Amino acid sequence: MTHEIAVIPGDGIGQEVTPAAVEVLESLDIDFEFAEAEAGDAVKAETGEALPQETYDLAASADATLFGAAGDTAADVILPLRGAVDSFVNVRPAKAYPGVDAVRPETDLVFLRENTEGVYAGHEDRLTQDVSTLTRVVTESASERLAEFACDYVSGDEHDGFTVAHKANVMRETDGLFRDTVRDVADENGVETDEVLMDAFATRVCLDPTQFDVVVCPNLAGDVLSDLAAGLVGGLGLLPSANIGPERALFEPVHGTAPDIAGEGVANPAATIVSAAMLLEYLGYDDQAAAVNEAVEATLADGPRTPDLGGGASTEDVTEAIIDRL
Ligand code: GGG
């Protein structure tokens, strides 16, 4: 069976780490057909459009999409691309790797981030020179969809329920609805939950990440708190993500374009390669996904390593080392 994979590198180091992950996928004995398309700042400068229609259509029809990174045009690129696959949840695992210098080596978390609304729903206005506003949207239906996914996600032996991170003591209507809906769905499914205010979560997870396992959160909180967790495990070069929809999905590293190192060939490809492993698992290639994860883990433990992890290796050196281990 052939799988069509849309490849959208985007900007900055997306142009370096996405081809690295494609090289890894190509090294496996799976019938992939890759179709590349443009999105982001560079194509906007050329054509006036950050997300050409053909790129959107490709993501909306491919079996899965591998995306790199978005910069200034993130709102015009990532949000509609997630919409193209009707992605209602962004799965962001944050775990420390053996041998990698981490602030909290005991970290092993998964964020399930609401992916369609909150403050990322795009209702922003500049009312006057002095005042701009943003409408925060939370719906029962989106919260339910996320909660049902979370209940399925924790249904095996590995997890004892999940934590809901919110700020319902201040945003009573929006996060109140989010928290109550998620809790009700969990109760109906017999799934244990606890809850934490998201600001308290930020402190507690730094002090002792083992207090948490699966964390369900609204959109912005999930974006910020998972980046915070990246800081605990050795940096953004290590965090993958999966944007899951009912029929298709889009995989991307958590990091952005990293303009400070873009073009130098030293970006850490691990986050994108592990995102590709999530793509493999999504398509049912569990053995190959496990093999890629093991190869990444072994390479991170023994080197070569890119400069973000204290090494001097290039993106290509690390990619080759991972492929050699497969
Ligand atoms: N590959 C992820 C990426 O490009 N991140 C930049 C960014 O601004 N992300 C916002 C988000 O994930 O919602």
Domain boundaries, the chain: 1-97+235-325, 113-233
Rounded to the nearest angstrom, the distance between the alpha carbon of 325 and the centre of ligand 1 is 30
| Whether residue 76 lies in the annotated active site | no
Nearest alpha carbon, ligand 1 atom 11: 223
Please report the pLDDT score of residue 256 as a whole number. Answer: 96
Rounded to the nearest angstrom, the distance between the alpha carbon of 157 and the centre of ligand 1 is 31
| Whether residue 167 lies in the annotated active site | yes
Nearest alpha carbon, ligand 1 atom 4: 69
Nearest alpha carbon, ligand 1 atom 6: 256
Catalytic residue, chosen from 76, 95, 167, 308, is 167
Give the CB-side neighbour count of residue 176, counting CA atoms within 13 A. Answer: 5
CB neighbours of 136 closer than 8 A, spacing ≥ 6? 118, 119, 121, 171, 174
Catalytic residue, chosen from 125, 160, 199, 208, is 199
Rounded to the nearest angstrom, the distance between the alpha carbon of 79 and the centre of ligand 1 is 9
Tell me which CATH homologous superfamily contains domain 1-97+235-325.
Answer: Isopropylmalate Dehydrogenase (3.40.718.10)
Catalytic residue, chosen from 41, 63, 223, 317, is 223
Of 267, 278, 319, which Cα lies nearest the Cα of 295?
319
Rounded Cα gap, residues 174 and 218, in angstroms: 10
**Ligand 1: nearest atom to the Cα of 14:** 1
Rounded Cα gap, residues 75 and 224, in angstroms: 16
Please report the pLDDT score of residue 102 as a whole number. Answer: 97
Please report the pLDDT score of residue 89 as a whole number. Answer: 98
Please report the pLDDT score of residue 107 as a whole number. Answer: 98
Output the pTM of the full model.
0.97
Please report the pLDDT score of residue 123 as a whole number. Answer: 87
Ligand 1 proximal residues by C-beta, below 6 Å: 69-70, 74, 78, 223, 252-253, 256
Please report the pLDDT score of residue 122 as a whole number. Answer: 75
Which pLDDT tens digit goes with each residue over 90-144? 999 999 999 999 999 999 999 999 999 999 987 899 999 999 999 999 999 999 9
Task: Choose the residue to mutate in 15, 41, 73, 78 for probing ligand 1, maximizing ligand atoms within 8 Å of C-beta.
Answer: 78
Go through the chain and tell me how many residues it has: 326
Please report the pLDDT score of residue 157 as a whole number. Answer: 85
Please report the pLDDT score of residue 156 as a whole number. Answer: 87
Catalytic residue, chosen from 56, 97, 120, 285, is 120
Rounded Cα gap, residues 7 and 37, in angstroms: 6
pLDDT along the chain (326 residues), means of 10: 97 98 97 98 95 98 97 94 97 97 97 96 92 96 98 93 98 98 98 98 98 98 98 98 98 97 98 98 98 98 95 98 98
CATH architecture classification, 113-233: 3-Layer(aba) Sandwich (3.40)
Rounded to the nearest angstrom, the distance between the alpha carbon of 254 and the centre of ligand 1 is 6
Q: Where are the beta strands (DSSP E) in the chain?
A: 3-10, 32-36, 64-69, 89-95, 108-114, 118-126, 132-137, 162-166, 193-197, 214-217, 240-244, 249-253
DSSP-derived secondary structure letter, 7: E
Which pLDDT tens digit goes with each residue over 170-197? 999 999 999 999 999 999 999 999 999 9
Rounded to the nearest angstrom, the distance between the alpha carbon of 188 and the centre of ligand 1 is 33
Q: Which amino acid is at 168?
A: A
Please report the pLDDT score of residue 202 as a whole number. Answer: 98
| Whether residue 157 lies in the annotated active site | no
Residue 35 in contact with residue 6, Cβ under 8 Å?
Answer: yes
Nearest alpha carbon, ligand 1 atom 8: 74
Rounded to the nearest angstrom, the distance between the alpha carbon of 70 and the centre of ligand 1 is 6
Nearest alpha carbon, ligand 1 atom 13: 223
Nearest alpha carbon, ligand 1 atom 7: 256
